[in-house]
Amino acid sequence: MKKFIVFLCIIGFPLNVFAYSDRVYLGGNTVGINIKSEGIMVIGFYNINGSKPKTSLKEGDIIVKVGNTKVNTTSELTKAIEDNLEDNKVNITYKRGKKEDTTDIILENVGGIYKTGLYVKDSITGIGTVSFIDGDTYGCLGHEVIESNTSKMIEVKSGSIFENSISSIEMSKDGSPGSKNAKFYYQNTYGDITKNTKYGIYGSWYSNVDEKRLIDVGKPSQVELGDATIYTVLNGEDIEEFTIKITKINLNSDIKNITFEITDERLLKETGGIVQGMSGSPIVQNGKLIGAVTHVVTDNVKTGYGIFITTMLEESDKD
């Protein structure tokens, strides 16, 4: 059955050695995530007077300038369009992948209001779980943050992780993963976000840590088939431990290194399986932190994937 996954010495050449810690603080904390993008992302289009907008922009393009004015927020974009509008059009500088280009947008005057036909976004907010804290840095999620409409990775201009409290759970069902719902407390910041990568988000950790949560790091060679546990939050901010069974180990995958199924009856009763917001939940086996939850298998929501924690620690160590 096909599985569908949502969103877990050469002489003469430089050798990068990442000396990650062999002991870190265990995560499991639920956090709110806010990332402000580098530029403004085009996430869709709407018709004006029944016609598509006159532009060569595509979903996922990043608007960085209007005329000669740099823009990073939707309010800056609106003002720059107003200031640079001439003959019902403006010149836009945008990025598509690594390439930068320019194009004109033709605006339509509808009842005295100029419309672009563009849906845009300058930030993204969500829920995740901290995997580890290592001194004054942390790792979270185990996979990249993407914009849901375009499935494009968000380039970080700035960002923060902050306090949240889980208020309810939408149950997972086969074919339809559920999610955690949370109250956000933006003013209580735990850290910043400096990197959004395929292996998770990373940054500086500002908050206190519980010295009792110090744990040894397990290497991939120490991961075994069989019983393990995950740490995550189902209610409020209480970190709880739940049982899983590791059914497969893949040493060759970038991210989907650990295949597991939930065996904890209470977790299954309260969530139905893996839910969105669990990404980053640490996986512990034989007293060592070995990985983090990254994905749910949508046609069997009791099953999921995890990334080796050493991959996240190596990514955290990179500039």
The neighbouring-strand residues paired with 209 are none
* Residue 295 pLDDT level (bands cut at 50, 70, 90): very high
Q: How far apart are CA 134 and CA 254, in angstroms?
A: 22
State the chain's mean pLDDT as an integer. Answer: 91
Per-residue confidence (pLDDT) for residue 319, from 0 to 100: 75
**Per-residue pLDDT, 20:** 78
What is the structure's pLDDT at 268?
98
Q: How far is CA 242 from CA 182, 231, 267, in A?
A: 20, 6, 7
Report, as an integer, the average pLDDT of 169-180: 96
Residues near 240 by beta carbon (within 8 Å), at least 6 away in sequence? 231, 232, 233, 234
Per DSSP, the residues of 129-143 read EEEEEETTEEEESSS
pLDDT on residue 152: 86
Average pLDDT of 218-233?
A: 98
pLDDT score, position 255: 93
pLDDT at site 50? 84
What percent of the chain is modeled with pLDDT above 90? 80
Alpha-carbon span 140 to 280, nearest angstrom: 5
Does the pLDDT value for residue 17 go beyond 60? Answer: no
Q: Are 44 and 131 contacting, i.e. CB atoms less than 8 angstroms apart?
A: no
Q: Does residue 10 carry a pLDDT above 70?
A: no
Model pLDDT for residues 27-45, shown as the tens digit of each residue:
999 999 999 988 999 999 9
Average pLDDT estimate for 65-76: 93
Question: For residue 113, what pLDDT band results from cuts at 50, 70 and 90?
Answer: confident
| Confidence grade of residue 19 (pLDDT, cut at 50, 70, 90) | low
Question: Looking at the predicted structure, is the pLDDT value of residue 16 above 50?
Answer: no
The total number of residues written for the chain in this structure? 319
Domains and CATH numbers, the chain: 23-36+123-317 (2.40.10.120), 47-116 (2.30.42.10)
Each residue of 232-290: pLDDT tens digit? 999 999 999 999 999 999 999 999 999 999 999 999 999 999 999 999 999 999 999 99
Catalytically annotated residues: 143, 264, 279
* Residue 3 confidence (pLDDT) above 90: no
pLDDT at position 55 is 86
pLDDT band at 54 (very low <50, low <70, confident <90, very high): confident
pLDDT at 95 over 50: yes
Interatomic CA distance for residues 49 and 212, integer angstroms? 62
Strand partners, 238: none
pLDDT, one tens digit per residue, over 194-223 is 999 999 999 999 999 999 999 999 999 999
pLDDT interval class at 48 (50, 70, 90): confident
